[in-house]
Structure 1
Amino acid sequence: MSKKAKKAVLLVQLGTPNAPNTSEVRKYLTEFLMDPRVMDIPYVSRTLLVKGIIVPRRASKSAHTYSTIWDKETGSPLMYYSEIQRDLLQESLGEEYHVELAMRYQEPSIAKAMKKLEGMFLESLTVIPLFPQYASATSGSVIDRVMEVMRSWQYFPKLQFVSSYCEDPLMIDVFAENAQKHDLASYDHFLFSYHGLPVRQLGKVDPSKQLTCPDFGCDSCKQDVKPYCYLSQCYATTRALVKKLNIPEGKYSVCFQSRLGKTPWIQPYTSDTLHNLAKEGKKKLLVFSPAFVADCIETLDEIQVEYANEFKEMGGEEVHMVESLNTHPKWIQALKKMVLENGN
């Protein structure tokens, strides 16, 4: 910890199990799914569902999946890339700043990271949730937890939250450059697959409860960037990438992955989209996952293994994945710009 640092940055990722075994995955899933912003149902119902049904059924299978992407030397891919992002941002900002990394669920926890920062008697703190598109279940949960921890602080530095950056030009550049490592002309179709949310959560961002988008997929979401509409921001990210790469209309689709339970989630689902494309005779797909700034279980397994196998079973041939932002220098520049532009 630099003695000169009076400004701090807290990067917050979603989280990862401490190890790829059933016990650790059970802890991770329980903490994650018991968050009321993630499972936004009454506490008793949430407890019965999470601890009584979901976690017991999923922990062992998820542990096996984590073991397939876990590196013997570097461990969790999400943690590996997040720690490098932290270190590179620290190097870029210099000793005037102190950059800390936390996970919303499991370790290093937000509480432990904030404890370190509290003792620095900071002038300012910028919190950057590592989710480009705002959602209450992701960025909102991070901000909520940071404010909860800070309630016990006896002093308050200047505090800034970067709640979304869905169209950040440098971020778009990185995804585009990573896509151009592939022979774009050889693909039949491009998929922009984002993490899913229950449909009911989209309406909760409007305190007036008068949203004029009954199906949560209206044309305005595809044309405008509404400040706290997750769906709108996903379309905004897609538009920026499509424009950057000159992908023609009709040759790409927006879809949503990782749904849970029987309640309606944002559609179209990625799995359904893959099935439909296979039925249409599409053979080779390139998939973007712009909701993630580091490769993780959702990109390394869910898309590249699970969905790819489904596509092939339906008659498709190849599913390739665009690498995430990971340690790209322009992504570090983007993070630095967010810090400096937010008055820190």
Structure 2
Amino acid sequence: MTAPRTAVVLCNLGGPDSLEAVEPFLRNLFSDPDIFKFPAAAVTQNLFAWLVARRRREEASRGYAALGGASPIGGHTEDQAWALEQALADLKARVFVCMRYWHPLTREVVAALKAGGFGRIVLLPLYPQYSQTTSGSARNEFLRECARVCYHPDTRFIDSWYQEPDYLDGIAAAIRAAAERFSAADPARISLLLSAHGVPQRLIAQGDPYQRGIEETARLVRERLAWPHVTLCYQSRVGPLEWLRPYVDDVIREQARAGVDQILVYPIAFVSDHVETLYELGITYARLAREAGVREYHVVPALNTDPALIRALSHVVRAALREER
């Protein structure tokens, strides 16, 4: 009996590929029922998404304009897919990129998988720590699209994979390498901020495990580094709700007032550089740190196609394919 064709689907957020795409990208984001829930979703959600996208378009466009007019996340994810496909060459698995809020959208990817006759799928979110708003949303959208086109492959879902040793070792190595940029490269002289994307406190109170995953990732990285000054903090909050604390901008100000003059930031929830690592951390908070009196401030690049990350992804795919069904 011939084994079914295998595909690995790398799920990521996606990002606008032009400034004209910023508003429709935001509409897709704010239309996601796994992030924003409304009782009359068919009407209320679409109106909410349209209004918020219009309101946030100009501010968001400034970030993408500073990066050349588009998000680099698509290119990074394509590169990761290519590298992972090479690592899985013995399995003859194809690797697809699937973006939640911009092309290639889930609908396009599911259509390609069905047309290609792939009977076995590994759905691998590029979010190391599970949240209903990220990995959960990607899974739900994939299942909706499969049901819509009557496509029923054997699908293996990977929820979180931050415990992978290669992934953690890659982070530690990247941080150590970036520390060499400081004039005083001694870890005792460097304040390391592990910055994660924030979520509303209300989501955590409802049982979402994201905060636990982030805190455990930070603990495992601390163990590998054994540096004396490491702080976990959160970025990218929007709106009036209380989000996970401490906020990274507050931490920068507090440490500057305490006389810290060397800050290194690692984006612990991200594996691809994009607007939140390059613009928010790399430009906006760099300016804040400089104005607060921090002499040296650097951001460690995300792992992108670091071989350690690709090894970790290959391992979790192989483990998923070994699972008994």
- Normalised by the length of structure 1, the TM-score is 0.85
Asked whether the equivalents of residues 85 and 94 of structure 2 are also in contact (C-alpha less than 8 Å), the reply is yes
1:106 lines up with 2:102 in the alignment: yes
1:7 lines up with 2:2 in the alignment: no
Alpha-carbon deviations, 1:266-321, whole Å to 9, x = none?
A: 11111111111111111110111111111111110101111111122122222211
1:103-252 matches, within 5 Å, as 103-154=99-150, 156-181=152-177, 182-183=179-180, 184-185=185-186, 187-205=189-207, 229-248=209-228, 251-252=229-230
Asked whether the equivalents of residues 5 and 97 of structure 1 are also in contact (C-alpha less than 8 Å), the reply is no
1:334 lines up with 2:315 in the alignment: no
Asked whether the equivalents of residues 71 and 275 of structure 2 are also in contact (C-alpha less than 8 Å), the reply is no
Overall identity of the aligned pairs, in %: 29
Asked whether the equivalents of residues 286 and 319 of structure 1 are also in contact (C-alpha less than 8 Å), the reply is yes
* In 1, Cα distance between equivalents of 2:38 and 2:254: 33
Q: In the alignment, which residue of structure 1 is the partner of 2:270?
A: 292
SS in 2 for 1:105: coil
**Change in 2 beyond 3 A, CA 1:123/1:180:** same
Aligned-partner residue type, residue 185 of structure 1: D
* In 2, Cα distance between equivalents of 1:141 and 1:257: 20
**Change in 2 beyond 3 A, CA 1:41/1:265:** farther
User: What displacement does 1:51 show?
Assistant: 2.5
Q: List runs of 5+ in structure 2 lacking aligned partners.
A: none
Alpha-carbon deviations, 1:202-223, whole Å to 9, x = none?
A: 1223xxxxxxxxxxxxxxxxxx
Q: In the alignment, which residue of structure 2 is the partner of 1:208?
A: none
User: What displacement does 1:131 show?
Assistant: 0.4
User: What displacement does 1:56 show?
Assistant: 2.3
Q: In the alignment, which residue of structure 2 is the partner of 1:210?
A: none
Q: In the alignment, which residue of structure 1 is the partner of 2:54?
A: 56
Alpha-carbon deviations, 1:73-122, whole Å to 9, x = none?
A: xx632111111001111112126211111100110111111111112333
Q: How many residues align?
A: 312
- Normalised by the length of structure 2, the TM-score is 0.90
User: What displacement does 1:148 show?
Assistant: 0.5
Aligned-partner residue type, residue 7 of structure 2: A
Alpha-carbon deviations, 1:17-75, whole Å to 9, x = none?
A: 121x2x310101111012122223444665554422x322321222122021138xxx6
Aligned-partner residue type, residue 334 of structure 1: A
1:89 lines up with 2:84 in the alignment: yes
SS in 2 for 1:241: helix
Counterpart of 2:34 (choices 28, 37, 51) is 37
**Change in 2 beyond 3 A, CA 1:110/1:239:** same
* In 1, Cα distance between equivalents of 2:242 and 2:114: 41
User: What displacement does 1:173 show?
Assistant: 1.2
Q: List runs of 5+ in structure 1 lacking aligned partners.
A: 206-227
User: What displacement does 1:13 show?
Assistant: 0.8
Structure 1 residue runs of 4 or more that deviate by more than 3 Å after TM superposition: 40-50, 152-155
Q: In the alignment, which residue of structure 1 is the partner of 2:65?
A: 67
SS in 2 for 1:286: strand
Asked whether the equivalents of residues 284 and 316 of structure 1 are also in contact (C-alpha less than 8 Å), the reply is yes
Asked whether the equivalents of residues 4 and 119 of structure 2 are also in contact (C-alpha less than 8 Å), the reply is no
After the TM superposition, which of the residue ranges 98-107 and 308-317 deviates more from structure 2?
Answer: 308-317
SS in 1 for 2:13: strand
* In 2, Cα distance between equivalents of 1:117 and 1:131: 22
* In 2, Cα distance between equivalents of 1:107 and 1:172: 30
User: What displacement does 1:188 show?
Assistant: 3.0
Asked whether the equivalents of residues 4 and 120 of structure 2 are also in contact (C-alpha less than 8 Å), the reply is no
Q: In the alignment, which residue of structure 1 is the partner of 2:237?
A: 259
* In 2, Cα distance between equivalents of 1:258 and 1:166: 21
Asked whether the equivalents of residues 131 and 138 of structure 1 are also in contact (C-alpha less than 8 Å), the reply is yes
* In 2, Cα distance between equivalents of 1:232 and 1:239: 10
Q: In the alignment, which residue of structure 2 is the partner of 1:28?
A: 25
Q: CA RMSD in A?
A: 2.0
